[in-house]
């Protein structure tokens, strides 16, 4: 298809923001919600966007959103999640931090901590924390992805397996309603699985948009983590899984916690 001028602008908005909502677009273009829904359906049929309830995402089932756009998606929610995760991690502890914009927010919130050992396959986290004298940064070796500065591959997995740390902070690209944790790159998944296996306490950090997305590679299940920190949990099934498997659920946007 050849998108109309309005449809092209919708795609660019979705590219910049990560997602667009019907009501916002209707107000922006002074058209009816029905008109916007038709635009979104056309764009999704052309695989330029992926439909979600109330709007659309700039991604498809096997494509990731561009990294800089991901940083802008739910930025305030990620900051709140980062602060909540950092509050759980005491001084004088060791931790893994994996790839992702939400895990980067956790790293940023750790800047005032003392005597931490941070092991990461995330160049962005390493670069921000390396200048702090009270935090020792150890970075994994392996293949560096140009798109996001993530270090992946078997060398990174082998490196991670040398350690047994107090905490792991992991992010994901999508969470299914049945609690399955998903990502886009099988090499990244292997590293995430090694991180989960070599930490005494696993903290999953994810904004609520991840409930609206899908990805093709399985990392594991939410029952395998100890704490799940999100801005809010809109999925009753996931909430029930957390309760039945003693996963501590923290909703940073409201300050509520389910032990």
Residuewise pLDDT in 10s, the chain (259 residues): 667 889 988 988 887 777 899 999 999 999 999 999 999 998 888 778 888 888 888 764 444 556 666 676 778 899 999 999 999 999 999 999 999 999 999 999 999 999 999 999 999 999 999 999 999 999 999 989 887 889 999 999 999 999 999 999 999 999 999 999 999 888 899 999 999 999 999 999 999 989 988 888 999 999 999 999 999 999 999 999 999 999 999 999 888 888 7
Residues in Cβ contact with 25 at an 8 Å cutoff, skipping those fewer than 6 apart: 10, 13, 36, 39, 55
- The reported pLDDT for the residue numbered 184 is 87
- The reported pLDDT for the residue numbered 80 is 96
Count of structural domains within the chain: 2
Instruction: Kindly list the distances between the CA atom of residue 104 and the CA atoms of 100, 136, 258, in Å, as whole numbers in the listed order.
Output: 6, 16, 24
Residues 36 and 147 in one domain: no
Residues in Cβ contact with 138 at an 8 Å cutoff, skipping those fewer than 6 apart: 117, 118, 119, 120
Residue whose tokens read 């009816």: 32
Residues 236 and 110 in one domain: yes
- The reported pLDDT for the residue numbered 11 is 86
Residues 83 and 210 in one domain: yes
Domain of 22 in residue numbering reads as 5-58
CATH of the domain at 37: 1.10.10.10
In a domain, 185, yes or no: yes
């Amino acid at each position: 298809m050849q998108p109309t001028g309005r449809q092209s602008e919708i795609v660019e908005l979705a590219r910049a923001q990560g997602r667009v909502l019907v009501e916002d677009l209707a107000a922006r273009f002074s058209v009816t919600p029905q008109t916007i829904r038709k635009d979104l359906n056309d764009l999704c049929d052309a695989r330029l966007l992926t439909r979600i309830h109330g709007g659309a995402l700039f991604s498809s089932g096997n494509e990731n959103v561009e990294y800089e756009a991901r940083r802008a998606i739910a930025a305030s929610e990620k900051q709140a999640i980062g602060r909540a995760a950092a509050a759980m991690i005491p001084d004088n502890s060791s931790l893994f931090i994996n790839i992702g914009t939400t895990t980067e927010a956790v790293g940023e919130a750790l800047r005032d901590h003392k005597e931490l050992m941070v092991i990461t396959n995330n160049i962005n986290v390493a670069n921000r924390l390396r200048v702090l004298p009270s935090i020792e940064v150890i970075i994994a070796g392996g293949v560096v992805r140009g798109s996001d500065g993530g270090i992946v591959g078997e060398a990174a997995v082998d490196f991670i397996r040398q350690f047994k740390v107090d905490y792991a902070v992991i992010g994901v690209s999508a969470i299914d309603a049945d609690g399955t944790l998903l990502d886009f790159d099988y090499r990244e998944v292997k590293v995430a699985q090694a991180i989960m296996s070599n930490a005494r306490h696993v903290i999953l950090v994810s904004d609520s948009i991840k409930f609206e997305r899908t990805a093709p590679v399985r990392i594991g299940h939410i029952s395998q983590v100890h704490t799940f920190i999100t801005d809010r949990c809109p999925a009753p099934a996931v909430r029930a899984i957390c309760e039945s498997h003693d996963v501590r659920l923290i909703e940073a946007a409201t300050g509520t916690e389910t032990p």
